[in-house]
Structure 1
Amino acid sequence: MAFRVMSFNVRMDTEKDGDNRWDCRKEVVANIIRSQHPLVFGLQEPHKHQVEWLAGQLPEYAWVGKGRCPVVFGIGEEHCEYNPVFYDTTQLECSSSGTMWLSDTPWLPNTKFAGSAFPRIATYARLKRKDDGREFTFVCTHFDHEGEEPRTRSAALLVAKLQELSGGTPVVLVGDLNAGGGRAGSSSSSSSRGRGSSSSSRGSSTGSSWPGVVPSPPVACGASCPA
């Protein structure tokens, strides 16, 4: 069963980014996704209005997911980060989905492992291909950026929970693990097969990546910022 998937940290919407803020880059983000046309993709860091804007630009896709911590910080769901899963509704059906918190109590919202800077989540979707009925489970996550122990525990949690949630279907896990290859978190949740990074096609690192083979060519991007 072969198909194209995508993982994309689109970054939160913050005015601190100046000329790189969301309004200046959102068209580029949508165009990159259109150009790759993945069967399913996961995003990291978007606020709800970013997710909804992209959904409006990509009408063939539906999405699932929840915000990670609206109660803890009192900021409201509109401004907390999501790990949404988007899937192509012309080719896929979603039979179940959910969001778990990377913690000792994964079904309790806003919880986290000790040592984590923020609550972290994983969004999963059980998907079925319309053409042949074959199923798989797609997961999108974003590990903690500070502690190695929380990343290791997050990886172990996902391995354990996905054995239950996947129902024996193949699992595709994507995300921003905040760890290079071989470091805590990345090595626990992946094997040496099928791994690639943006840096191998771009020629430069995005901060946390590992060597790999990326068959698609690099995407050239440009944007103009509205006044």
Structure 2
Amino acid sequence: MKVMTFNLRCDFFLDFNNRWDERKKLVFDVINKYNCDIIGTQEATKKMFKDISDNIETFNIIGNPRSKKLFSERNDILISKKHSIIENKTFWLHDNPEKYGRSRWYSMFPRICTTAIVELENSKRIRICNSHLDFLLPQARAYELKKLSEFIKKEQEKEELPLIIMGDFNSNPNSKLIKEFINGDVFNKRLVAVQDKKKELYNKATMGNFKNKEKGSHIDYIFVSEEFEIIDVEIVKYNVNGKYPSDHYPLMAEISIK
């Protein structure tokens, strides 16, 4: 199966010729072209969500906005209609995860995780989690990842499933946050970043700022539990005549359950 994490970049007025309406067809192209089973997206607003829903026919889309504000962002998961969605929910990375729109005082925005149990074509079940951590403060990211881990650990105790956690972690590979997460210091379960299949990718940017960049911030991840074999991984630099679908490059991996 193929999985992808894709920060879509919100529709920000200062992006000028890179605003959503100028690049949304490129986003649709990426979603359709790479034939993924699961795509975790970040930063979609209500309008972006509607446009994707209206133009993408081969996926079911799950998720909720992080707050009730008009331009509130979402961490939606697109799931190929080949597979069945058993359950899904959105929770907040806070002491009260079920409380809509909650955030810590030092977080710029409420942060959420969208999660689903999916039954694949082969009848095997997996758990998928998609999140987007704070971009400003390391202590906010550490808190949010701790809350994400606590919630998912409880869900795994109810039903232990092969696990995929993906998203924009706003942290480079050598950061304390990523190292502790991979080592199991945060989650109490060893996870592997798909980039480990091609470690040279850690030196390449996943954030390109609408340009073709080799070096720069590597902050997008797909982590998988040890039930998965990582077959291949790539940073997708799809563009048309130098026009990119987002300021982030999608990260895509081919994986299989052992």
TM-score category by the smaller chain?
A: 0.7 to 0.9
Whether 2:74 is the aligned partner of 1:82: answer: yes
Higher strand share: 2
Most deviating of 54-63 and 134-143: 54-63
Asked whether the 8 Å contact 1:42–1:86 carries over to 2, the reply is yes
Residue in 2 that maps onto 1:101: 92
- The Cα of 1:215 is off from its aligned counterpart by 4.2
C-alpha change, 1:210 and 1:176, in structure 2 (3 Å) is: closer
Q: Distance in 1 between matches of 2:237 and 2:99?
A: 40
Whether 2:109 is the aligned partner of 1:118: answer: yes
Counterpart among 151, 156, 162 of residue 161 in structure 1: 151
Letter in structure 2 aligned against 1:84: D
Consecutive unaligned residues in structure 2, runs of 5 or more: 183-190, 196-200, 222-231, 245-258
Whether 2:172 is the aligned partner of 1:180: answer: yes
Q: Distance in 1 between matches of 2:106 and 2:26?
A: 35
Letter in structure 1 aligned against 2:194: G
What is the correspondence of 1:38-57 to structure 2 with a 5 Å cutoff? Answer: 38-57=36-55
Counterpart among 201, 205, 210 of residue 199 in structure 1: 205
Residue in 2 that maps onto 1:139: 129
Asked whether the 8 Å contact 2:170–2:220 carries over to 1, the reply is no
Consecutive unaligned residues in structure 1, runs of 5 or more: none
Letter in structure 1 aligned against 2:138: E
SS at match of 1:199: coil
Residue in 2 that maps onto 1:219: 238
Asked whether the 8 Å contact 1:4–1:40 carries over to 2, the reply is yes
- The Cα of 1:148 is off from its aligned counterpart by 0.9
SS at match of 2:61: strand
Residue in 1 that maps onto 2:118: 127
Residue in 2 that maps onto 1:149: 139
C-alpha change, 1:206 and 1:136, in structure 2 (3 Å) is: farther
TM-score, length-normalised on structure 2?
A: 0.74
SS at match of 2:194: coil
Q: Which structure would you say has the larger RCO, counting Cα contacts within 8 Å and 6 or more residues apart?
A: 2
Q: Distance in 2 between matches of 1:66 and 1:210?
A: 21
Letter in structure 2 aligned against 1:183: S
Q: Distance in 2 between matches of 1:33 and 1:171?
A: 22
Aligned length: 214
The Cα offsets for residues 84-142 of structure 1, whole Å up to 9 and x where unpaired, read as: 011001x2111111111111111111111342111111100110013x21010111100
Residue in 1 that maps onto 2:228: none
C-alpha change, 1:215 and 1:111, in structure 2 (3 Å) is: closer
Letter in structure 2 aligned against 1:209: I
Q: Distance in 2 between matches of 1:203 and 1:216?
A: 11
What is the correspondence of 1:66-77 to structure 2 with a 5 Å cutoff? Answer: 66-70=64-68, 75-76=69-70
TM-score, length-normalised on structure 1?
A: 0.84
Asked whether the 8 Å contact 1:156–1:188 carries over to 2, the reply is no
